[in-house]
């Protein structure tokens, strides 16, 4: 195509072309916009429900009650139990997974063939559906034939009831969570570790700096952005944990594992109290929203750096 | 760090073995269980050596479970089929909708694009039930409850944000100059997109597609709320199966193995893409 032709084709339908060119990005993002609306409409609906007395079994009682649902929580021990359990669950899982994930990432730091093979194998628990993972552990912790019950029996601990005993239920679901999600932190931190510049470590080795000093003064600070991103990510998922807890015990025994979303689910489907369920979820959303804003800022900074323009 | 000292190497060896045992043992053990009869499973002490049987898989595939209470009809294969249909349809739809949008977000800086990208990202971290519970009431009114279409549409909430953010990063890494040159040679916008941008972002699109397939497959709560028995994927189906089959532990193990095999094979096959996709483009290594 000659230059003259090119100019001509560019010139003739200039007006419609420019108009179309400006519209193009909007046309392309239309589906994404629809999905956004499909999220925002139920979200606003939930916010409205949370201000209503709304029970599916008593539809004639429905009406606005302001923030009464929220105020009721203040004097409701079940709510404080939910808040406490959710926070404990989150804190324990995130700390355990972070320490374990960091430890494993350090072990696998040198990119040998064996280390890479191990890190690939560790992907498998992460790719297992959490609800199915809970079922796997349920089979292994069955009191009559479970292999883990048998093994702790060999260690002299008999009648260890795992998820069905209130005193060990939290430990058991945390164990499943750690099994599934530690590899996630490990993968992020391993990628971080391997992307660190070599010079500080080489200099430290030349000067004979002790390993603990290298770890706490060089490795950890340089890894900090990755650690923060990985733990915030887990924090956000962990406080909303549903699959593992629901598949394992449905929040029981009793109310021992009534984390936010399980409680909200039962509130909706068992007690058909839509208003209360929505209010509970709004509180959870508020917590996650604060956390996710911090996370997104952090993540975008890291992303920009990885893409080389920061 | 001293890699060569003998004590250090022994310590690392032991630590790595423990790590491997903890993370691999459950998978191996459930796999072994799935080849055992109930009597073998209930034996104490448990044995590693046993005569393997395929009876559990046969029962699942034929849909006829023999229980103490008589024969039981279980359609676990249907759950497996549902998982394939729902996850594949969701990923295809999300790619068709998401890749052009990701391109728009990467190439044109416009306010609406940023707003959409951020809304989707921030709702990635919102409690799913917050959206799902009101949605289930809407679905009942619209007659979308318990339809494949309705479930695939909801799965877009998982797949689309993932695809948008991963693929957008890949498009941003491609210099627009190539496309400009191609456009100057008289090609339309659509040609530049399909012949230049999409092939160059191929690995990113593959990573995003794989990851969303796995996430859709592994999802539990969406279908728990929106699907009844004949539309349920394996995650929900397996739980129902445990309740229904009671003490048929071998069959439960076989059902678990069938539920996780597709995603685990995918993960092994595409591990390189996966690691990149998992970090959502945050860490490039």
Whether A8 shows a pLDDT value over 50: the answer reads no
Whether A7 shows a pLDDT value over 80: the answer reads no
**Mean local confidence (pLDDT), A278-300:** 87
Show Cβ contacts of residue A52 under 8 Å, excluding neighbours closer than 6 positions: A62, A63, A64, A65, A69, A274, A275
What span, in angstroms and rounded, lies between the C-alpha atoms of B90 and A121? 27
A positions 143-172 inside 8 Å of B (CB): 144-145, 147, 150
**Mean local confidence (pLDDT), B202-210:** 89
Closest residue of A to B116, CA-based?
A33
Nearest to A189 by CA among A97, A126, A127: A97
| Of residues B23, B235, B281, nearest to A131 (C-beta) | B235
The tokens for B196 are: 């230049």
Closest residue of B to A175, CA-based?
B22
- Closest Cα of chain A to B70: distance in Å? 23
Interface test with A, best of B100, B107, B133, B176 (most A CBs within 10 A): B133
Helix, coil or strand: residue B71:
strand
Q: Facing residues of B66 across strands? A: B71
The answer to whether residues A106 and A193 touch, using CB atoms and an 8 Å cutoff, is: yes
**B160 contact residues in A (CB cutoff 8 A):** 31-32, 35
Contact A122 B110 (CB under 8 A): no
Contact A307 B172 (CB under 8 A): yes
Helix, coil or strand: residue A47:
helix
- Closest Cα of chain A to B40: distance in Å? 10
Q: Facing residues of B67 across strands? A: B70
**A298-307 per-position pLDDT tens digit:** 777 776 766 6
Whether A58 shows a pLDDT value over 90: the answer reads no
Whether B161 shows a pLDDT value over 60: the answer reads yes
pLDDT at A161: 86
Q: Facing residues of B246 across strands? A: none
The tokens for B7 are: 């004590």
φ, ψ of residue B236 in degrees (nearest 5): -75, -40
Q: Facing residues of A273 across strands? A: A55
**B110-136 per-position pLDDT tens digit:** 888 888 888 887 777 889 999 999 999
**A133 contact residues in B (CB cutoff 8 A):** 26
The answer to whether residues A236 and A295 touch, using CB atoms and an 8 Å cutoff, is: yes
φ, ψ of residue B27 in degrees (nearest 5): -65, -45
Interface test with B, best of A29, A101, A303 (most B CBs within 10 A): A29
Closest residue of B to A22, CA-based?
B108
Q: What does pLDDT average to over chain A?
A: 86
pLDDT at B119: 83
CB contact, 8 Å: A140 with chain B?
yes
Whether A6 shows a pLDDT value over 50: the answer reads no
Residue A50: CB atoms within 10 Å: 23
What span, in angstroms and rounded, lies between the C-alpha atoms of B147 and B185? 47
Helix, coil or strand: residue A309:
coil
The answer to whether residues B79 and A132 touch, using CB atoms and an 8 Å cutoff, is: no
Closest residue of A to B186, CA-based?
A6
Whether A5 shows a pLDDT value over 50: the answer reads no
Helix, coil or strand: residue B285:
coil
The answer to whether residues A122 and A183 touch, using CB atoms and an 8 Å cutoff, is: yes
A positions 61-100 inside 8 Å of B (CB): none
Nearest to A287 by CA among A52, A82, A101: A82
> Which domains are delineated in chain B?
6-73 (no CATH), 76-283 (1.10.3720.10)
DSSP readout, A61-74? G-EE-TTHHHHHHH
Contact A132 B164 (CB under 8 A): no
Show Cβ contacts of residue A134 under 8 Å, excluding neighbours closer than 6 positions: A173, A176, A243, A244, A245, A247, A248
Whether A186 shows a pLDDT value over 80: the answer reads yes
| Of residues B20, B236, B282, nearest to A299 (C-beta) | B282
Please indicate whether residue B16 or residue B169 has the higher confidence score (pLDDT). B16
Q: Tell me if the bond preceding B86 is cis, omega within 30° of 0.
A: no
| Of residues A28, A35, A288, nearest to B127 (C-beta) | A288
CB contact, 8 Å: A204 with chain B?
no
What span, in angstroms and rounded, lies between the C-alpha atoms of B134 and A310? 41
Q: What share of chain B is helix, strand, coil (3-state, %, to 5)?
A: 75, 5, 20
Please indicate whether residue B47 or residue A172 has the higher confidence score (pLDDT). A172
**Mean local confidence (pLDDT), B27-32:** 95
Q: Facing residues of A53 across strands? A: A63
In this structure, the strands spanning B70-73 and B64-67 are antiparallel
Q: Facing residues of B64 across strands? A: B73
- Closest Cα of chain B to A74: distance in Å? 21
pLDDT at B88: 96
Closest residue of B to A281, CA-based?
B130
pTM of the model: 0.89
What span, in angstroms and rounded, lies between the C-alpha atoms of B171 and A104? 33
| Of residues A39, A236, A243, nearest to B131 (C-beta) | A39
- Closest Cα of chain B to A127: distance in Å? 6
**A31 contact residues in B (CB cutoff 8 A):** 97-98, 100-101, 160
What span, in angstroms and rounded, lies between the C-alpha atoms of A172 and B110? 48
Nearest to B117 by CA among B151, B166, B152: B166
> Which of A92-106, B58-72, B194-208, B233-247 is the least confident region?
B58-72
| Of residues A36, A138, A214, nearest to B119 (C-beta) | A36
**Whole-complex ipTM:** 0.90
Helix, coil or strand: residue B34:
coil
Helix (H) or strand (E) holding B67: strand B64-67
| Of residues B104, B131, B249, nearest to A43 (C-beta) | B131
Closest residue of B to A208, CA-based?
B1
Nearest to A247 by CA among B224, B145, B7: B224
DSSP readout, B202-216? HHHHHHHHHHHHHHH
**B253 contact residues in A (CB cutoff 8 A):** 139
């Amino acid at each position: 195509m000659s230059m003259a032709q090119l100019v001509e084709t560019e010139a003739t339908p200039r007006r419609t072309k420019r108009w179309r060119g400006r519209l193009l990005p909007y046309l392309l993002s239309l589906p994404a916009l629809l999905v956004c609306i499909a999220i925002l409409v139920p979200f606003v609906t939930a916010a409205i429900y949370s201000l209503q007395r709304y029970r599916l079994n008593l539809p004639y009682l429905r009406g606005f009650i302001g923030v009464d649902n929220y105020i009721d929580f203040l004097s409701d021990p079940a709510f404080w139990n939910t808040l406490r359990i959710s926070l404990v669950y989150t804190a324990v899982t995130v700390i355990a997974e972070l320490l374990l994930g960091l430890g494993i990432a350090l072990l696998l730091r040198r990119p040998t063939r064996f280390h890479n093979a191990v890190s690939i194998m560790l992907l498998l628990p992460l790719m297992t559906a959490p609800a199915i993972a809970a079922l796997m552990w349920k089979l292994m912790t069955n009191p009559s034939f479970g292999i883990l019950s048998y093994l702790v029996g060999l260690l002299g601990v008999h009648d260890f009831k795992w998820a069905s005993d209130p005193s060990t239920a939290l430990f058991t679901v945390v164990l499943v969570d750690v099994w599934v999600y530690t590899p996630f932190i490990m993968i992020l931190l391993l990628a971080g570790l391997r992307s660190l510049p070599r010079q500080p470590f080489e200099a430290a080795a030349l000067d004979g700096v002790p390993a603990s000093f290298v770890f706490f003064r060089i490795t950890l600070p340089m890894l900090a952005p990755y650690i923060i991103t990985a733990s915030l990510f887990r924090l956000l998922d962990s406080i909303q944990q549903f699959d593992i807890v629901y598949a394992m015990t449905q929040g029981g025994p009793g109310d021992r594992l009534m984390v936010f979303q399980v409680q909200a689910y039962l509130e909706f489907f068992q007690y058909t109290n839509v208003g209360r369920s929505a209010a509970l979820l709004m509180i959870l959303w508020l917590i996650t929203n604060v956390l996710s804003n911090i996370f997104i800022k952090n993540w975008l900074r890291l992303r920009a750096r990885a893409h080389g323009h920061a | 760090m001293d890699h060569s000292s003998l004590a250090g190497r022994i310590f690392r060896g032991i630590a790595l073995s423990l790590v491997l045992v903890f993370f691999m043992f459950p998978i191996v053990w459930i796999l072994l269980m799935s080849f055992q009869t109930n009597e073998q499973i209930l034996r104490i002490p448990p044995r590693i050596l046993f005569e393997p049987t395929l009876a559990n898989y046969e029962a699942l595939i034929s849909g006829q479970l023999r229980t103490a209470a008589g024969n039981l009809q279980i359609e676990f294969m249907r759950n497996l089929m549902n998982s394939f249909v729902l996850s594949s349809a969701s990923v295809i739809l999300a790619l068709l909708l998401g890749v052009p949008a990701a391109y728009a977000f990467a190439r044109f800086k416009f306010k609406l694009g940023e707003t959409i990208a951020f809304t989707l990202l921030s709702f990635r971290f919102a409690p799913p039930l917050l959206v799902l519970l009101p949605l289930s009431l809407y679905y009942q009114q619209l007659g979308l409850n318990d339809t494949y279409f309705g479930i695939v549409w909801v799965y877009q909430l998982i797949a689309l944000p993932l695809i948008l953010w991963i693929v957008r990063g890949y498009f941003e890494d491609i210099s627009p100059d190539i496309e400009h040159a191609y456009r100057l040679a008289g090609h339309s916008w659509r040609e530049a997109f399909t012949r230049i941008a999409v092939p160059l972002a191929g690995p990113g699109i593959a990573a995003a597609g794989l990851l969303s397939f796995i996430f859709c497959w592994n999802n539990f709560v969406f279908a728990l709320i929106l699907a009844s028995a004949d539309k349920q994927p394996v995650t929900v189906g397996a739980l129902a199966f445990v309740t229904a089959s009671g003490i048929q532990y071998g069959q439960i193990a076989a059902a678990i193995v069938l539920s996780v095999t597709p995603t685990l094979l995918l993960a092994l096959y595409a591990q390189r893409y996966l690691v990149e996709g998992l970090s959502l483009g945050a860490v490039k290594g």
